[in-house]
Amino acid sequence: MATPANRRGGEEKSVPHIRITDEKYLWDNYEEGELIGQGTFGKVFKVRHKETGVDWAMKVINKEKAGGQGIKLLEREVTILKRVQHENIIALNEVYESPKRMYLMMEYCEGGELKDGLDKSIYTESETLTIVRKLASAIKYLHKLDIVHRDLKLENILLSQNPDDPDDKLHIKVTDFGLSVVKGGVGHDNMMQDFCGTPIYMCKYKLVDLWMKVYLEILKQPNMV
């Protein structure tokens, strides 16, 4: 069974993509746990691998409800997640696909969304700098691979346990690459003039402009990332 990739290299990692006709094959290997997220076309559950005891976040997408466009976005997300390997980007471990559903086995982040963390407490200036530094590192890595996320927001930044530092409570993971694109390709999907993302973050709080200003300032300091 594969393990989460924390390397920074750009080489494609091996992610098993298993086609199944019966979901029983899936549940022979995993124990289903609590519901931890829900979207338009699917749900996210905490599951446990029976053999290893490792917890994972299982994203389940109903392909019929998603429709052709939804499946296209999902396939794009899977393709990108198979390429990226960075400690601050969610890792895709396995993909199961049946005629009706697709199951993505991803890292489980016990800290939940960064938005929930901000609702519970106020981060200090030092803690905020730590989060922004890690976020900038992840985005800089994506941009080197010509990948543009296009939906950065607090809900798409998760808090996880740092395997190298148990005391690190601000170990973030960028997730949800459904709206992401790879620049330099051919066709409309790789063009950057689409209006997309989450409007409340673009107009009310103007966080996109804020993130970009902070990101550009950090990039001016080579030792910061």
pLDDT at 117: 85
Where is the binding site for ATP, in residues?
A: 59
Strands 112-113, 171-174: parallel, antiparallel or unpaired by DSSP? Answer: unpaired
> Splitting the chain (225 residues) into consecutive groups of 10 residues, what average pLDDT does each group show?
44 84 92 89 93 96 91 91 95 95 95 88 90 94 93 92 90 91 61 49 49 60 57
pLDDT of residue 126: 92
Q: What is the pLDDT of residue 11?
A: 56
pTM, full prediction: 0.78
> For residue 57, what are the β-bridge partners?
46, 106
Q: Where are the domains of the chain?
A: 17-107, 112-224
| Alpha helices per DSSP H over 51-178 | 63-83, 114-120, 125-144
Predicted confidence at residue 222, as pLDDT, reads 60
pLDDT tens profile 37-87: 887 788 999 999 999 999 999 999 999 999 988 898 899 999 999 999 999
17-107 and 112-224 share one CATH topology?
no
Catalytic residues: 151
**Sequence-ordered strand ranges (E) for the chain:** 17-19, 30-38, 42-49, 55-62, 92-97, 101-107, 112-113, 147-148, 157-160, 171-174, 181-182
pLDDT value, residue 9: 47
HSE (CB half, 13 Å, CA atoms) of 31?
9
Q: For Cα atoms 124, 127, 129, give the angle at the middle one, nearest 5 degrees.
A: 110
Where is the binding site, in residues?
59
CATH superfamily, region 17-107: Phosphorylase Kinase; domain 1 (3.30.200.20)
pLDDT confidence of residue 217:
64
Residue 27: in which H helix or E strand, if any? helix 24-27
CATH architecture label of 112-224: Orthogonal Bundle (1.10)
The pLDDT assigned to 205 comes to 43
What's the CA gap between 55 and 50, in Å, rounded? Answer: 9
